[in-house]
Structure 1
């Protein structure tokens, strides 16, 4: 049985004095892929930001344990060094720093070691080939002038290069056409090959899941996990939607 990586216990989270998540509990093991689904406004993205330590999302109760350590009070930078990665639903533009330099700096902060430029470029090209990205993107300012699909590819490129222990993908397929979804899925599949890493995929769609192995599925409604199951739960939601669970 895989070793437990993430444990969420009785977690409640609020934003501006409004509680969004209520007493959430679930565990995620190394090598597993979990999917968190639910209608718009259910609190799915709130969970992702809370796990990453965004200060806007106040933990009002409960604890987050990561790799055996209580990280409830840790900063986002500390959690990133621990090996947690969040792919944003709407990646921001960062003028003045290239995509390549951003990734290299993040890798050095993650590992605490200086990375040689030649070896980094070789590894970066390999990852960019998987995502069908032109090498020129490495020398462009991070997300500046990128299309929606290009921004999502840049996020998955960071995932492949940083090799986090836990990757949280928040609506990664949002706004992407069919071809872009396939390309992004290919990058996620590549990450799944590392059995020490785990995935939490937050989505209200199922397009990105079609080519991926899913171990557990959780349905979030009004800030509570109302049911959990295996990958077949994704097929049920695909066929019938969330109405059954919203009415519970």
Structure 2
């Protein structure tokens, strides 16, 4: 069993050469193996800041609190050490890496996380199987990372990484944004498969409930003003769909 804990996390974002602004104002959250926690909230509430601060983005600085993965302090680890420890971040806007093929990037990533290079034939078989499961054309393995990919193709590639890297905890930052209905279903199936196969915990950041029709949350948290202002079960997402975030914006101010 894996336990991922946020205890009183506060964080600043760099908004100028030397100017910083506090965005996270005391976040407490515990995610166990096999659990899906949906983080919902309005624009500007700090959801993406939470994701990037945990991952170790240099623009964000955690100023107080603890981030623990199975009791180990993630904040004392470098970005690559966090990945090897079992953290994974699927970015809202995946970047292009021209000149580096998807297959080489993925094999290098797997090697870094697992600690040894997989046999080429075995990895090729593993990669082809994972791509098939996500309805990714095999020709994409030879293309540059995200180079010329549509929004849906980029998001499928993020979930392909998830499947191959087998993290303990996956932080998915608006993975549903920019997806049509078919792509949303395929990506959701990929998330569910990885979760069930690897018993990972999931932090699913989203504005909308549509992905929650496919990736069923165990817990739903409303994020506003840099903190969690209410938590509940799946029924809370239905309430948000019907009523919006107005009352929570006031609570988080």
TM-score scaled by length of structure 2: 0.94
SS at match of 2:162: helix
SS at match of 1:72: helix
The answer to whether the aligner puts 1:32 opposite 2:29 as a matched pair is: no
Alignment of 1:232-247 (within 5 A): 232-247=235-250
Match of 1:5 in 2: 3
Q: Contact 1:4/1:27 (CA < 8 Å) preserved in 2?
A: no
The answer to whether the aligner puts 1:142 opposite 2:140 as a matched pair is: no
Query: C-alpha displacement at 1:210, in angstroms?
Result: 0.7
Unaligned stretches of 5+ in structure 2?
15-19
Greater CA drift, 84-93 or 204-213? 204-213
Q: Contact 2:55/2:89 (CA < 8 Å) preserved in 1?
A: yes
Q: Contact 1:36/1:203 (CA < 8 Å) preserved in 2?
A: yes
Match of 1:223 in 2: 226
Query: C-alpha displacement at 1:238, in angstroms?
Result: 1.4
Q: Which stretches of structure 1, 4 residues or longer, exceed 6 Å deviation after superposition?
A: none
Query: C-alpha displacement at 1:195, in angstroms?
Result: 5.5
SS at match of 1:40: coil
Match of 2:192 in 1: 189
CA RMSD of aligned residues (A): 1.1
Q: Contact 2:90/2:172 (CA < 8 Å) preserved in 1?
A: yes
Match of 2:13 in 1: 15
Q: Deviations over 1:220-243 (max 9, x none)?
A: 101011011111111111111111
SS at match of 1:31: coil
Match of 1:85 in 2: 88
Alignment of 1:81-160 (within 5 A): 81-160=84-163
Residue correspondences, number: 246
Unaligned stretches of 5+ in structure 1?
none
Q: Contact 2:169/2:202 (CA < 8 Å) preserved in 1?
A: yes
Query: C-alpha displacement at 1:194, in angstroms?
Result: 2.6
The answer to whether the aligner puts 1:173 opposite 2:176 as a matched pair is: yes
Q: Contact 2:2/2:168 (CA < 8 Å) preserved in 1?
A: no
Q: Contact 2:107/2:117 (CA < 8 Å) preserved in 1?
A: no
**Cα distance in 2 between the residues matched to 1:146 and 1:4:** 34
TM-score scaled by length of structure 1: 0.96
Query: C-alpha displacement at 1:97, in angstroms?
Result: 0.9
Alignment of 1:190-205 (within 5 A): 190-194=193-197, 196-205=199-208
Query: C-alpha displacement at 1:178, in angstroms?
Result: 1.2
Q: Contact 1:5/1:66 (CA < 8 Å) preserved in 2?
A: yes
Match of 1:72 in 2: 75
**Cα distance in 2 between the residues matched to 1:103 and 1:124:** 9
Q: Deviations over 1:128-179 (max 9, x none)?
A: 1111110010110100111111111111111111111111100001111111
